[in-house]
Structure 1
Amino acid sequence: MSKTMRAIMCREPWDYRLEEVPMPEAGPGEVVIKVSACGVCASDIKCYTGAPLFWGDEHRKPYVEAPVIAGHEFVGEVVELGPGAGEKYKLEIGDTAIAEQIVPCWECRYCRTGKYWLCQVHNIYGFQPVVNGGMADYMKFPARSLVYKVPSEIPTASAAVIEPLACSIHAVQRGNIEFGDVVVVAGAGTLGLGMIGAAKLKNPGVLIAIDLMPKRLEVAKKLGADIGINPSETDAVQEVLDLTEGYGCDVYIEATGHPKAVEQGLHMIRKAGTFVEFSVMREPVTVDWTIIGDTKELNIHGSHLGPYAYPLAIDYIHRGLIEVEHIVTHQLPLTDYLTGFEMVQKGSDSIKVQLVP
């Protein structure tokens, strides 16, 4: 008789259920972990609430293949190693381990040229059942996964922030920050705060955080922001222009997920500046592209996932260079997943909410 476990099963918008499902087993090259914690991401909430990006509409195919176990911000204890997995990943039973959120096919054009995070197949944990996610008692890393050992000294709450921090690091890398640059990070949620911490390591001239919530701006300063701006209290664009003799910021990183932040950035950034778009938008965003081209000749860089950044995220957390403990505000039992979803959707009383099986 096969063993079962608890898992949060995504079935359709607004229909996520705590179910008993078969426990995964490790085949050749595979790893099974006992999940220690799994964060609730803003993209999980967009999926939960039926955003077209995930469920499709007349313009796009569905990204989610339900039913699927949700969750991609996981970390856990190794409990089973399939043949060859221990040697491949330098893991032993009892180690703490994490896998990148994408499981590449390793066969498409992108994978074959080193751009695995843009994999054409694009299996992401928690969105397709071939790579079930971490909102469960146990989960499996398939043989195609990118798996890393996590130092045991890192507390579980901080270790479960490795995935979003890797994404933040990649976004900062896409910003090409130079010494003395005025850098703006719009959005001081989990990802934006990670970007603040990573951008600080680049030694910018001035690092500015923008958010509507004073508590989040306070955390942004703990992570390295020199200035916090609340657009509900002041004209954020004018304030940045005043700080830069009317030129505007050198680098603008958008991490709010709100269309207004895109427009704000286009007006706030200097000519020939670098605009990094990270957010997963609920709906398509329309802007004046003349600003991008004829008016300012901007460098527009997209940012997706956290390629090659997991070892950096692990190292920076381990050495205390980015203090992610300020980001985790709530840990809830797996059974309280709906409460966690509501907290993240509301956003006013939490930053990072994690589910602990």
Structure 2
Amino acid sequence: MSHVGSSARMTAIVCHGPKDYRVEEVSRPEPGDREVVLKIVACGICASDCKCWSGARMFWAGQTPWVKPPVIPGHEFFGIVESLGTNAEEHFGVKAGDRVIAEQIVPCDKCRYCREGKYWMCEVHNIFGFQRQVADGGMAEYMRLPPTSRVHIIPESISLDDAAIIEPLACAIHTVQRGDIQLADVVVIAGAGPLGLMMAQVARLKTPKKLVVIDLEDQRLELARKFGADITINPKQQDPIEVVRELTGGYGCDVYIETTGVPAGVTQGLEIIRKLGRFVEFSVFGEETSADWSIIGDRKELDVRGAHLGPYCYPIAIDLLERGLVTSKGIVTHRYGLEDWDTAVRKAYGTESIKVLMQPGFKAEGQSISR
């Protein structure tokens, strides 16, 4: 475990099990050969972190849970290079004082997928903040980056909040790319959480014919319109299927991106999409989803595509943020110090926040950020 073997101490959030996350003083990590230690600036709370905390079945099922506690959570982090192990400066191309981010996955660099350049589908599949044997996550004052980490430098011109959304933005970019959006397409994004709102910004850059965003929260739909959505739909007020069919002459949308993380988002998408359409699934689900698979084949011959992580998209995310083409404004809504984890995770689990950041040393409890 990365925080073993150091005499120096630090504050960290430690996951011991479902709803058993504790603020603890632990050993501060030290870099080994070709390793870097970061001083964490910020770490976002992801929907997967919330589902892990709540004990969702996908994280804790069976005798060999994917999450292996005790572990320091957090994969939406960035920080400043604090110390470098032997050969680390040459290995990563970074130096002390650089602002950097590491991709969320820690590839093995040995399996079939890693050897083929598809490192994001690594068979071992260790991700920061979930499996303790490789590396802890970023909800701490410091964290260690192992030798196989994919590290990127963040320009100083990028603000703290923008830097904090690079990880989910990279995922959003990959998802939109999987949709293969064309100029004449009607695109529907289901879910206007942090990822959906970033996808809306990226999808708008593809200039589709119409961009539609669906969500149950009017405040989030208002933000989606600011980010370029042509039409927003609240299912509590309108039937999304009827609205989209009317918009498309009865056919349905060309591309449907599912990012709600609930079963209804899937079944809705299978109905709302046209024949020969492209259905992109990104979400992390806390429960199993059932659907009529005959829709996929016999009725519509859909192209169903998954989207996982943000491979090769971090440099794109950094560039879009640096050019001001994508923003965190309105998405980052709350920030907390590590000591306020219990409040922060409950805030992140609710609908009044969008993106909650954990910032070591932040003192104002849960300061809400003006939208």
Shorter chain as normaliser: what TM range? Answer: over 0.9
Residue 103 of structure 1 deviates from its aligned partner by: 0.4
Residue 71 of structure 1 deviates from its aligned partner by: 0.5
- Which one-letter code corresponds to 1:36 in the other structure? V
- Measured on the aligned residues, the alpha-carbon RMSD in Å equals 1.0
Match of 2:368 in 1: none
Which 5+ residue runs of structure 1 have no aligned equivalent?
A: none
CA distance in 2, matches of 1:183, 1:83: 49
Match of 1:56 in 2: 61
CA distance in 1, matches of 2:49, 2:158: 25
Matches within 5 A, 1:176-215: 176-215=180-219
CA distance in 2, matches of 1:108, 1:277: 25
Deviates more, 1:89-98 or 1:165-174: 89-98
Which 5+ residue runs of structure 2 have no aligned equivalent?
A: 1-5, 361-371
Match of 2:369 in 1: none
CA distance in 2, matches of 1:290, 1:228: 29
Identity %: 56
Q: Among residues 124, 128, 132, which one is paired with 2:127 in the alignment? A: 124
Match of 1:228 in 2: 232
Match of 1:11 in 2: 16
Matches within 5 A, 1:133-172: 133-172=137-176
- Which one-letter code corresponds to 2:115 in the other structure? R
Residue 254 of structure 1 deviates from its aligned partner by: 0.3
Match of 1:22 in 2: 27
Residue 338 of structure 1 deviates from its aligned partner by: 1.2
Residue 89 of structure 1 deviates from its aligned partner by: 2.4
Matches within 5 A, 1:1-357: 2-57=7-62, 61-129=64-132, 130-347=134-351, 349-357=352-360
- Which one-letter code corresponds to 2:292 in the other structure? D
Residue 158 of structure 1 deviates from its aligned partner by: 1.2
User: Per-residue displacement from partner, 1:290-323 (whole Å, max 9, x unpaired)?
Assistant: 1111000000000100000000011111111112
Residue 88 of structure 1 deviates from its aligned partner by: 2.6
Residue 218 of structure 1 deviates from its aligned partner by: 1.1
Residue 27 of structure 1 deviates from its aligned partner by: 1.2
User: Per-residue displacement from partner, 1:265-314 (whole Å, max 9, x unpaired)?
Assistant: 00000000000010010011010001111000000000100000000011
Could you state the TM-score of these two structures normalised by the residue count of structure 1? Answer: 0.97
User: Per-residue displacement from partner, 1:46-70 (whole Å, max 9, x unpaired)?
Assistant: 0001111111138xx4101100001
User: Per-residue displacement from partner, 1:318-349 (whole Å, max 9, x unpaired)?
Assistant: 111112222101111111111111011112x1
- Which one-letter code corresponds to 1:127 in the other structure? F
Deviates more, 1:13-22 or 1:221-230: 221-230
Q: Is the 8 A contact 1:31 1:142 kept in 2?
A: yes
CA distance in 1, matches of 2:278, 2:343: 38
User: Per-residue displacement from partner, 1:164-214 (whole Å, max 9, x unpaired)?
Assistant: 000000000110111121000000001111111111111111011110001
- Which one-letter code corresponds to 1:100 in the other structure? E
Total equivalences in the alignment: 354
Could you state the TM-score of these two structures normalised by the residue count of structure 2? Answer: 0.94
